[in-house]
Amino acid sequence: MQPRLFSRGLQCNINHVHHPYWQLDFDMDGAANDEAFLHLASFPDTGFGSGWFRYSSEFDSRRNPSENPAWFVRDAQSRLGSFIQPSTEDGPHDVFSSINAGIRRYHGNEVGSWMFGATGELGFNNSENVVSQDNVIWYVGHLQHNAADGPDHYHAVGPIIRVSVP
């Protein structure tokens, strides 16, 4: 699966970046028992395989696509899960939007219209436990508009999601 945001044209003739947010609530085998992992080749084996790190509390991830990050969310009991990876068009985070993924414990009052303003980043990071909880992962895209591409060039961004069945 690949949720995508497409954009074309320049309303302002300068280089700029759009930062769409996707809230992904997988609940692979029910709402409870979610676990979240980050994979980087440089991580040692901490019991989940080489390169895999399991998050124990809410986090904001600042990984650039050049590091080939992958996130994995699964049901701790059934092991059904999904891999989330940046697409090749997804740019790196920047000073305006400094994260590219975040995991949060699910709370119904944290769903709905964006409440952080036009320049606000993802909130709700209360350092809550996310091991075997009902969690959501936020994916943040970084869609770059380059003025040199002209007004007719389509840009696209969005994560790549692959379902994993044990």
d(CA 58, CA 129): 7
Query: What's the number of domains the chain is made of?
Result: 1
Q: Is the pLDDT confidence value at 75 over 80?
A: yes
Domain with 125, as residue range(s), is 5-164
| 34 touches 105 (CB < 8 A) | no
Here the CATH number for the domain that contains residue 45 is: 2.70.98.20
Top-confidence residue, 101 or 146: 101
Confidence at residue 67, expressed as pLDDT on a 0 to 100 scale: 83
Note the pLDDT of residue 23: 92
How do residues 132-151 score in pLDDT, each as one tens digit?
Answer: 999 999 999 988 888 888 77
* Residue 99: CB atoms within 10 Å: 19
The two structure tokens encoding residue 68: 């080939």
Cα angle, residue 93 at apex, residues 91 and 95 outer, rounded to 5°? 135
Confidence of residue 59 (pLDDT cuts 50, 70, 90): very high
Per-residue model confidence as pLDDT tens digits over 18-51? 888 899 998 888 888 999 999 988 888 888 889 9
